[in-house]
């Protein structure tokens, strides 16, 4: 693929408008290492087949599929049958979580009778007509700057641009109708990828693991869909092609890293300077000529070398404690890359057990903080330089990252007394930091009340 404009290794802030917040005094520098430091063995590398991701395996693979996984998926449709008395898993928590997913669900189900699950197994369809007339763009750097401003005004929190790299496209999509692989076509003219990040609500994530925290995931996806469609429509109105994709079509993480949105962490997530790992990604494939951003470093790799907060807190033991390796836990990991790799089977089996997704590895990560406040900016400054041990010590001795009871999230502890809309719930840290296995321990006698 051609790499016009700035090229790999350039400062993503140089094209302007990339970052949605003002620049923090963090040492963000270009990552000039080949492949941003990843070791990819061409003799062993194989593109990942989406059929093998653990969600799809829970449809076709008896090793993964169980009553618990079926109940997990069903709870997104019929929350009133699955709620429990445990804090964070009550009727209101599920009611909010599923309401948050509603926007993304509508698009996912829109064309299910055509064997399309848009946003998850297939790209989103831009429903409005596009312009037949192409607006000529002579300067890819200018086009990228404009697109980033457009993306921000349409609701994107982070935007970066990189080149289409077929290694990160799924070798196949999963067809639910065929219960097997189907082609994953990509027009080679779509040489550029716009990667969009949406910050998730920290006050919800602070309650993880809980169904309530799952609302942050749902809000992220539902907002992502709207923002991706709007940016794509803008590109199409200029007479270019745009294919908006959420979880479908390609792996988000390598693209987000290549587009300079953050660094890859031990928890298997992209850690951004603005929101830490508390962010969701979508990507738009386009032929609009755009200058590319390049990968950045701000000390995450070094921090992950001395911090194991995610490994220690993960309730399923899915996050590695050692150095990056090319070991696959099972067929749900891509082959031939030396990296920190999470055991997706273990992670998902925990979700099935608690009947919601989990975000403990986001909550406990020291980069998940309010990057707008001065103490947090100071923390980032320390963490990105040679004082990172001090930053880690500070984080461990603060209440940040501790689990907040869902009861404290709801106004008046979730009573039915009407409350004024617009007041944000306080974050109160009461429980110990490494309490992630306590989802069911809070009320061991919790039972389903119906169903
Ligand atoms: C399937 C999936 C899962 C599954 C299963 C993964 C599996 N192995 O099957 C499970 C249940 C584990 C899962 C859990 C979570 N997920 Co998830 N997941 C995905 C999804 C839809 C597909 C990824 C995939 O196909 N993985 C299968 C193979 C490739 O996995 P792998 O070899 O272990 O590789 C992983 C990483 O190493 C990395 N990766 C892949 N290739 C390469 C190459 C290089 C060079 C590098 C450095 C990294 C890298 O990406 C993979 C992510 O699973 C992506 C969206 C997308 N299209 O990318 C979201 C995604 C990765 N998930 C996301 C999130 C946030 C989560 C959760 C926090 C849950 C939540 N609350 O949302 C947890 C965190 C678990 C963890 N610590 O990793 C975000 C990550 C955002 C970020 N900041 O980076 C994504 C991008 C979704 C999104 N729209 O934003 N997820
Ligand atoms: S989502 Fe939860 S179970 Fe999965 S890796 Fe993160 S902490 Fe572990
Ligand atoms: S919790 Fe610590 S080790 Fe895990 S990703 Fe965050 S900084 Fe790295």
Domain range holding 187?
29-413+431-436
- Residues 186, 85 contacting (CB under 8 angstroms): no
Statement: residue 405 has pLDDT above 80? yes
Cα(318)–Cα(308) distance, integer angstroms: 12
Cα(11)–Cα(273) distance, integer angstroms: 13
Residue 436: DSSP 8-state: G
Enter the pTM of the model: 0.91
Per DSSP, the residues of 339-364 read B----HHHHHHHHHHHTS---HHHHS
- Is 421 inside a domain boundary? no
- Is 4 inside a domain boundary? no
Report the nearest-CA residue for atom 42 of ligand 1.
254
Q: Is the CB of 268 under 6 A from ligand 2?
A: no
Widest Cα–Cα separation across the chain: 66
295 CA distance to ligand 3 middle (Å): 19
pLDDT tens for each residue of 187-233: 999 999 999 999 999 999 999 999 999 999 999 999 999 999 999 99
H or E element: which one contains 142?
helix 140-153
Ligand number nearest CA of 345 is 1
Q: Tally Cβ neighbours within 10 Å of residue 113.
A: 8
Closest ligand 1 atom, CA of 314?
77
Cα(354)–Cα(406) distance, integer angstroms: 15
- Is 6 inside a domain boundary? no
Ligand number nearest CA of 366 is 3
Closest ligand 2 atom, CA of 317?
8
Tell me how many domains the chain contains: 1
- Is 24 inside a domain boundary? no
- Is 100 inside a domain boundary? yes
Cα(31)–Cα(86) distance, integer angstroms: 45
Per DSSP, the residues of 291-318 read -----EESSHHHHHHH--HHHHH-TT--
Tokens of 446: 């919790």
- Is 137 inside a domain boundary? yes
Statement: residue 21 has pLDDT above 50? no
Cα(309)–Cα(361) distance, integer angstroms: 8
Split at pLDDT 50, 70, 90, the class of 451 is very low
- Is 20 inside a domain boundary? no
Tokens of 361: 């590895």
pLDDT at 25: 59
Split at pLDDT 50, 70, 90, the class of 414 is low
Q: Tally Cβ neighbours within 10 Å of residue 3.
A: 15
Split at pLDDT 50, 70, 90, the class of 356 is very high
- Is 8 inside a domain boundary? no
């Amino acid at each position: 693929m051609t790499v016009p404009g700035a090229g790999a290794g350039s400062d993503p802030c140089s094209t302007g408008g990339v970052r949605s917040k003002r620049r923090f005094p963090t040492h963000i520098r270009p990552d000039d290492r080949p492949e941003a430091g990843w070791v990819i063995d061409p003799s062993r590398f194989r593109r990942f087949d989406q059929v093998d991701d653990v969600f799809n395996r829970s449809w076709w693979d008896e090793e993964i599929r169980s009553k618990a996984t079926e109940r997990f998926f069903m709870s997104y449709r019929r929350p009133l049958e699955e709620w429990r008395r445990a804090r964070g898993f009550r009727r209101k928590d599920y009611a909010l979580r599923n309401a948050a997913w509603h926007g993304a669900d509508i698009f996912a189900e829109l064309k299910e009778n055509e064997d399309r699950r848009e946003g998850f197994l297939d790209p989103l369809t831009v429903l409005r007509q596009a312009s037949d007339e192409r607006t000529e763009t002579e300067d890819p750097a200018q086009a990228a700057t404009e697109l980033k401003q457009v993306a921000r005004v349409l609701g994107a929190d982070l935007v970066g641009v990189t080149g289409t790299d077929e290694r990160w496209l799924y070798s196949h999509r999963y067809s639910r109708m065929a219960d097997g692989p189907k082609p994953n076509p990509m027009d080679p003219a779509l040489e550029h990828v716009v990667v969009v990040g949406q910050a998730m609500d920290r006050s919800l994530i602070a309650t993880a693991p809980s169904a309530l925290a799952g609302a942050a995931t749902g809000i992220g996806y539902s907002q992502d869909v709207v923002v991706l469609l709007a940016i794509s429509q803008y590109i199409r109105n200029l007479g270019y092609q745009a294919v908006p994709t959420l979880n479908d079509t390609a792996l988000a993480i390598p693209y987000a890293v290549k587009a300079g949105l953050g660094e890859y962490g031990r928890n298997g997530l992209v850690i951004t300077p603005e929101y830490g790992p508390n962010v969701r990604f979508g990507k738009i494939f386009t032929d609009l000529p755009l200058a590319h951003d390049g990968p950045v470093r701000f000390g995450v790799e070094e921090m992950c070398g001395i911090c194991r907060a995610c490994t220690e807190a993960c309730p399923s033991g899915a996050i590695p404690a050692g150095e990056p390796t090319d070991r696959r836990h099972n067929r749900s990991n891509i082959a031939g890359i030396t990296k920190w790799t999470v055991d997706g089977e273990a992670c998902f089996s925990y979700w099935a057990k608690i009947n919601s997704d989990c975000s403990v590895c986001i909550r406990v990560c020291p980069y998940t903080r309010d990057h707008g406040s001065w103490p947090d900016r100071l923390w980032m400054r320390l963490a990105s330089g040679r004082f990172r041990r001090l930053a880690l010590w500070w984080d461990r001795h603060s209440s940040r990252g501790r689990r907040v009871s869902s009861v404290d999230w709801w106004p008046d502890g979730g009573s039915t007394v009407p409350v004024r809309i617009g007041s944000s719930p306080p974050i109160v840290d009461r429980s110990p930091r490494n309490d992630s296995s306590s989802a069911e321990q809070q009320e061991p006698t919790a039972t389903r009340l119906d169903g």
